[in-house]
Amino acid sequence: MEFKKERTGTGRITHMSLPNSAFIDGINFDEDSRWVKELNNPDYIPVVLYPGPEAINLSEIQTKDELPGKGEKPLQIIAIDGTWPCAKKMMKMSKSLHDLPRVSFSTTRKSEFVIKQQPDELCLSTLESIHQVLIELKRLGVEAPETPINNLTDLFKQMVDLQLKIASDPNLQGYRKKNYSAPKDRKKSKKWETRSLFYLGE
């Protein structure tokens, strides 16, 4: 639903910004022929960017030898994009994701996606998460993007600023009827006080 209706989704922007990427729409990908083909590409080692007790923290390792495959092949980074409940559902239903190595990262950065409400301060958008992964992989010497990594977030910030401007100016046409409130003034949804953000296994 978000893919079909939302034009400011950061997964879409990330895909459009990264030439060597694919965007596959769905909830359960196991029967998707394109997904199966991408997942079984022998030129890459697939990993899923998703937290978990066994996830490799890219921010903590020091050499590419600590990566899956020890850096001998490029990683195929699978990012789950969607609302937090939808991302959790995709992870749960797509069994082919369950046995893949997981990677994660540590950061103190706060999301700049202020036009969206995050359930927790630790939550970043898909684009911000991919940006952080690229930073870590460049540090490890396994990623050398042709264009500056910050180009990704520069475009993202321009999009957010434009959305804020449209929402605050009654003379500009937009889908919102009023301005965005500051993130610090928003109330957290109580459902996330008892609900796990992530699918960690059965």
Q: Using one digit for the tens of pLDDT, what is the confidence trace for 139-152?
A: 998 877 666 777 77
Domain membership of residue 198 (yes or no) is no
pLDDT reported for residue 185: 64
H-type alpha helices, the chain: 2-5, 10-17, 33-39, 84-93, 126-139, 150-168
Domain membership of residue 148 (yes or no) is yes
Pairwise CA distance, residues 79 & 47, whole Å: 9
Pairwise CA distance, residues 63 & 159, whole Å: 35
Domain membership of residue 142 (yes or no) is yes
Q: What is the DSSP secondary-structure string of 65-78? A: GGSGGGGSS-EEEE
pLDDT reported for residue 2: 53
Mean pLDDT for all residues in the chain = 83
Domain membership of residue 58 (yes or no) is yes
Domain membership of residue 52 (yes or no) is yes
Mind listing the pLDDT tens digit for each residue in 133-182? Answer: 999 999 998 877 666 777 778 887 888 888 778 777 767 665 555 666 66
**Tokens, residue 42:** 């022998």
Tell me the residue range of the domain where 145 lies.
2-193
pLDDT reported for residue 119: 75
Domain membership of residue 7 (yes or no) is yes
pLDDT reported for residue 178: 66
**Tokens, residue 121:** 């301060």
pLDDT reported for residue 199: 82
Report the sign of the C-alpha dihedral through residues 153, 15, 27, 35, in that order.
negative
Q: Are 95 and 32 contacting, i.e. CB atoms less than 8 angstroms apart?
A: no
Flag whether pLDDT at 122 surpasses 70: yes
Mind listing the pLDDT tens digit for each residue in 41-57? Answer: 999 999 999 998 899 99
pLDDT reported for residue 56: 96
Considering the chain, what percentage of its residues have pLDDT values greater than 70? 81
Domain membership of residue 199 (yes or no) is no
Q: DSSP 3-state assignment of 95?
A: helix
Domain membership of residue 202 (yes or no) is no
pLDDT reported for residue 198: 81
Q: Phi then psi for 45, rounded to 5 degrees?
A: -110, 110
Q: Are 76 and 44 contacting, i.e. CB atoms less than 8 angstroms apart?
A: yes
Report the domain count for the chain.
1
